[in-house]
Chains A and B, each alone.
Chain A
């Protein structure tokens, strides 16, 4: 599995944008970039995913570098409820029905008032 590298922790003020980086220099052409987050005392939840183009949904935006060796998850206005561990995960589209998620240690986001 291609590996991802994320900072261990980040801090943000409430109502401000947060940019969570992820490096994946060994990404292959068939790897999708997925983000999940895990709120305290909960299981992980899906946030967003993309392949080459930037993606937006109601939770966040995903900016993917042109060479695809890095990506950034953007929370446009962080709230206290966004405090969580954020995981950047690569998934090979060719795995078909073998769809395990390979988690790293993620980035712990702290949001303060």
Chain B
């Protein structure tokens, strides 16, 4: 059973460019969340997708957008990259059950470096 997979593993971009990161959830999971982790910090919640819609969003600008596909996989897009966007981007998947403390399963992340 494959866990959460993310691609690419590493990425280098320059300021002003756009980037797309991809995530495939754990088999049987229907919800995908994205987190940004700066060096030395804990992960920060970006947004969560369920049923192809953004359900909750953290304190991130509109430059960060996402998408969920019918097969539950997801993309994170970042436009107009800034140096401060350099971070590890983590995808987590879970099974959405109302009022249930579901466990989130994280992928290994995509390390983005903006020059």
Contact = CB atoms under 8 A, between A and B. Distances in A.
B101 A44 contact: no
Given A43-B109, A44-B90, A102 B99 contact: no
Q: Which size class do A's interface residues fall under?
A: 20 to 34
A7 interface: no
Interface in B81-95: 90, 92, 94
Contact of A94 (B31, B45, B56, B99): B99
B41 A100 contact: no
Contacts of B33: 99-101
For the residues of A in contact with B, the DSSP-based class is loop
A15 interface: no
B50 A105 contact: no
B99 A98 contact: no
Interface of B: 4, 31, 33, 35, 40-45, 48, 50, 55-56, 58, 90, 92, 94, 96, 98-99, 101-109
